[in-house]
Each structure stands twice: as C-alpha cells, then as structure tokens.
Amino acid sequence: MNQDFELLLQDTIAALSEGVAIFDAEANLTLVNDSFCGMNRDIAEFLRPGLRWDIYLREAENRGVLTPDARRGLETIEADLLDGIDIDHSVQVNLNSSKAHLFRIKPTSDGGFILSQTEVVDYSAQADAAREAEILLSKVLEACPTSLTMSRVGDGKIIYRSPAARALLGSNKSCFSHFSKREERADFVTALLPDARVDDMRVTGVRADGTEFPAAISARLIDYRGEDMVVSSMDDLTDELAVQSELAQQRRQIFQAEKMSALGELLAGVAHELNNPLSIIVGNAEILKEDLEGTSQEGRIGKLGNAAERCVKIVRSFLSMARQEPLNPQPVSLRGIVETANDAMASVAPVPRVRITTDLPGNLPRVMVDEVQLAQVLINLLTNSVHAIHDAGIGDAIVIKGQREAKSGMVCLTISDNGPGVDDDIAGRIFDPLFTTKEVGKGTGVGLAFCHKVIASHNGIIRLEPKTDGGATFSIRLPYLTD
C-alpha cells in the first residue's frame, strides 16, 4: 500500500504544471518533475536524484539560470528553515531569461524541503498591452474611411458608429433610419440571418440631411455579450453610378456614330439610284397634268405627282443625312438660333393652340457651331413635339430652356413639352436611323438620327431625358466659348 501510494504521489507530482523538486533531510535531491526541468533547461543534466542543494545553486548560477541575488535569496530561505524561523518562505526573482519566477520552499515532515517554481504572470503588463491594443483599435476605427456601424438585430439600436458613418448617415440611435424603405430593411435582415453575412446588397440609404441615395451594404452577424449584433458598412454609390451612366452614354454615342456611318453609305447609294427615275416620274407627271387638265384623269395624275414629290423629299432626306457636309462653325449666340427656330415654327405649326416659350438667361455663353445645322436640329425637335401633341390630343405647351454647366464646360438647351411623352420600351431606339413612331407615310425615321449626327459633329451630346411627370424632354449639350 505504501509503495502504491508512493507511485501515485510521483505520478501526481510529475503531472503538475508547477516545477517541483524534493530534497531530503541531507539536502539531497530525491524527486524532480518535468516542469522543473523545463524551467531550468540549462542545468537539466544535473537534475538527478542525489544532487546536493549547494551544487544545484552553484551550477544554476554558473549556467546563468539564477542570478547571484536569486541564489543568495534561496540560500537564506533554506538556512531559515534549518533554524526554524517562521517566515514567508518564498522569493520572486528575475531570471536571465527576462521572466519573473516565484520560488517557494516548504519543509517536509522528514526534515527535508520542497522547492517549487512557477512563472509569475505580469498582470499589469497584460493590462498595459490590452490598453495599448484598445487605443490602437480606437485609432484605426476613428480613421477608417468606411461607414461602419454595429447595431442590435432586434431593435436596431446602434452600439458603435465610425466618424465616416456619422458623416454619411447622421447620429440617429437606430440603424432602421439608415434605410429609406422598410421592405429593404426587412429583406436585408432576411438575407443576413441564414449565413450571418451579406455582401454588396443594393438598398436605398438616407443621408444625414434626410436625402436618399443609392447604396451597397455589407454586413456580418456576430455575438457580443450574449446578443446578436450586426456589423455593417454602407457605401454611397451616387458617384459610381454616375460614372457608369456616363460610360454607358458614351458607348451608346459611339455605337450610334458607327450605325450612322454604315447607314450613310447605304442611303447615299440608294438615294442616287432612285433620284434619276424619280425625276423622270415627276417631270412626266407635270406634263400629263397639263395635258389632262379638266378631264376625269386629272385627279389620278395629281395623286401620282404628289406621291412622286413625296418620294423625292424622302430621297433628299436620305442624301442630307448621308452626305458629309462640311461644318461652318462660327461663334454665335444660342438665343439667336432659338429665335430662328421659333420663327420657322410659327408658319408650320399645325395646331395654333401649342405655345412655344423660351427661358434663356441673358448671360448664356456663346457656342462655336454651324448656325444653319443647329437651327435645323431645333426645328426638327420642335416639329416632333408639335406633331406628338397634335396626334395624341394631349398637351399644349413647349418650353425651351438654357443654362450654363460650369463643371462640364457645356451649355445645355432643353426642349420640353407636356404631350404624351415617349414610352420607355422605345426610348432607347428613337435615335436609330429609319426608326419612327409616326403612321406610314408621315415619317421617315431620319429626323432624330440627323439631329444626333449634327450634335455629335459639334462634340456635343443629345439625349432623351428620363420621364418625370409626363411629356418629353430632349437635352442638347454643347461646349461653350470662354471668351
């Protein structure tokens, strides 16, 4: 039984993480565990049963395991034990490994003693390190350019927000206010909960000033003090979408120019082939009309002549669009070109009740354009508006406005009406050559394509603006002269 207990005691001491060395009454080492050897690696070869206490201390100092002060401290404790002095038999020393260890000596019943060694945990150093880490994290978060927030899932209460989030989204207490639409907030939570993450989900955000903006939100679901928290970042996509829209517009402009170039060659060939036979038809129709004047055939010859004249006009339209006529740019006032177009419309407007008004500032800058071609563009746009109002029976007003856009270096003219507008499903095709919404015999599909060609040749942009309250709005942007 004593042998079994001794084996159990040895196994227990061996399993301790604390270093333990047992010396007998003659101060000879009788038992040492692996932890003690690990803490004294440089003298581990000496740590065998039978090692005398004084030799241990000497070799430990010689091998740099103990400092001289540490050796003297342990010698003093051992001497006090022999003298029966009841004191705190422990000493904390700084080893040459730069770590602090606590040595304790406890007497045994047989007159020996137990030397224990434990590494001292410097809690103050750990606290300092934690504070430094906290300060660093705080600085990183405060400098973070991302709009970062942490909020509770249940009630949306915000626990933390970065300065960037405060600048973009304001200082509301709940993250619910960051979403313009309640259903988008619900969709966001629904997408977040299954996988505890959401990446670049498109939503409509609300800025600090209450205005809405297109946003992308990414988030992670974490546990914080037993509660589900959402760590999220919301990015304002306004500028990014504007750039994408501008790039898409430029691609459409390039594609349109390529189509116009290819179609121009085709139309030129067709128009030239049709021009001569049409001239013969028109000429002979005039002769027949004179010969058959007053007869029953006069009406039929008149219809034949009118149809031929229409064909001639269509051919001329084709030639006008296909022909690469040289520009004659001059520094001109847009007000003068608008007045020319208004004067031309006064005599051809089919509906007297359609009012054409202008709103042009007096300091509108001049532009370097071909006055004749630009006036023709305005006349085409005004004519289309008048015809749309007349055919639909909707609307009665057309407004021409102008403004300087200093940021882009452009002057913008808008032609807006309160007519039926342009359906969304055809808005992307209205500048295509030969595309028309007018009835057969009333439109050639050349007018808007011609307008696009002319404006592009002046390094400008023409487009149909998105629908708002009704009607249609075309905008023309041209570089202005700085004088």
Tell whether 376 is covered by a domain. Answer: yes
Region of 434 (left: φ > 0; alpha: ψ -120 to 50; beta: rest) is left
Q: Is the pLDDT of residue 219 over 70?
A: yes
Q: What is the CATH number of the domain that holds 24?
A: 3.30.450.20
Tell me, yes or no, whether 50 and 161 share the same domain. Answer: no
Tell me, yes or no, whether 347 and 411 share the same domain. Answer: yes
Tell whether 446 is covered by a domain. Answer: yes
258: confidence class by pLDDT, cuts 50, 70, 90: low
Q: What percent of the chain has pLDDT over 70?
A: 81
Tell whether 228 is covered by a domain. Answer: yes
Tell me, yes or no, whether 318 and 336 share the same domain. Answer: no
Q: Pick from 294, 324, 354: which residue ends a domain?
A: 324
Tell me, yes or no, whether 152 and 201 share the same domain. Answer: yes
Which DSSP category does 307 fall into? H
Tell me, yes or no, whether 351 and 462 share the same domain. Answer: yes
What does the angle CA 378 – CA 380 – CA 382 come to, to the nearest 5 degrees?
A: 70
Q: Is the pLDDT of residue 322 over 60?
A: no
Spell out the alpha helix ranges (H) of 323-441. Answer: 334-346, 371-392
The listed range with the strongest mean pLDDT (110-114, 138-142, 351-355) is 110-114
Closest CA to 388 of 470, 310, 320: 470
Tell me, yes or no, whether 112 and 43 share the same domain. Answer: yes
Tell me, yes or no, whether 388 and 310 share the same domain. Answer: no
Q: Pick from 300, 324, 348: which residue ends a domain?
A: 324
Spell out the alpha helix ranges (H) of 32-181. Answer: 34-39, 53-62, 68-83, 123-143, 163-169
Q: Is the pLDDT of residue 316 over 70?
A: no
Tell me, yes or no, whether 243 and 274 share the same domain. Answer: yes
| Spatial distance between the Cα atoms of 201 and 69, rounded to a whole number of angstroms | 66
Check residue 155 and give its pLDDT: 87
Torsional sign, CA 65, 66, 68, 71: negative
The most distant pair of C-alpha atoms in the chain lies apart, rounded to whole Å, by 156
Tell whether 129 is covered by a domain. Answer: no
Q: Pick from 70, 90, 123: which residue ends a domain?
A: 123
Q: What is the CATH number of the domain that holds 288?
A: 1.10.287
Torsional sign, CA 125, 131, 132, 134: positive
pLDDT in tens, 445-470: 556 777 888 888 888 998 888 877 77
Tell whether 205 is covered by a domain. Answer: yes
Domain residues for the domain of 147 are: 135-236
CA–chain centroid gap for 251, Å, is 21
Collect all residues with Cβ–Cβ distance below 8 Å to 403 and sequence separation of at least 6: 361, 364, 411, 412
Tell me, yes or no, whether 81 and 97 share the same domain. Answer: yes
267: confidence class by pLDDT, cuts 50, 70, 90: low
| Spatial distance between the Cα atoms of 457 and 265, rounded to a whole number of angstroms | 17
| Spatial distance between the Cα atoms of 289 and 301, rounded to a whole number of angstroms | 6
What does the angle CA 21 – CA 25 – CA 26 come to, to the nearest 5 degrees?
A: 95
435: confidence class by pLDDT, cuts 50, 70, 90: low
Burial (Cβ within 10 Å: 0-12, 13-18, ≥19) of residue 427: middle
3: confidence class by pLDDT, cuts 50, 70, 90: low
pTM greater than the 0.75 cutoff:
no
Tell me, yes or no, whether 335 and 306 share the same domain. Answer: no
| Spatial distance between the Cα atoms of 204 and 192, rounded to a whole number of angstroms | 17
How many domains would you assign to the chain? 4
Tell whether 130 is covered by a domain. Answer: no
Tell me, yes or no, whether 161 and 14 share the same domain. Answer: no
Tell whether 128 is covered by a domain. Answer: no
Tell whether 277 is covered by a domain. Answer: yes
Mean pLDDT value of segment 307-317: 66
For the chain, report the end-to-end CA distance as a whole number of angstroms: 113
The listed range with the strongest mean pLDDT (116-130, 358-372, 427-441) is 358-372
Collect all residues with Cβ–Cβ distance below 8 Å to 80 and sequence separation of at least 6: 87, 89
1: confidence class by pLDDT, cuts 50, 70, 90: very low
Mean pLDDT value of segment 242-248: 84
Q: Is the pLDDT of residue 261 over 90?
A: no
Q: For residues 74, 79, 84 and 86, what is the CA-based torsion angle, rounded to 10 degrees?
A: -30
Q: What is the CATH number of the domain that holds 396?
A: 3.30.565.10
| DSSP state letters, 155-211 | T-BEEEE-HHHHHHH-S-SBGGGGBS-HHHHHHHHHHHHHHTEEEEEEEEEE-TTS-
Show contacts of 255-263: CB within 8 Å, 24+ apart: 256/431, 256/432, 256/452, 256/456, 257/453, 257/456, 259/432, 259/433, 260/321, 260/433, 260/449, 260/452, 260/453, 263/321, 263/322, 263/433, 263/434, 263/449
Q: Which of 172-176, 235-239, 321-325, 361-365 has the lowest mean pLDDT?
A: 321-325
67 vs 403, more confident: 403
Q: Which of 11-25, 258-272, 291-305, 455-469 has the lowest mean pLDDT?
A: 258-272
Tell me, yes or no, whether 305 and 428 share the same domain. Answer: no
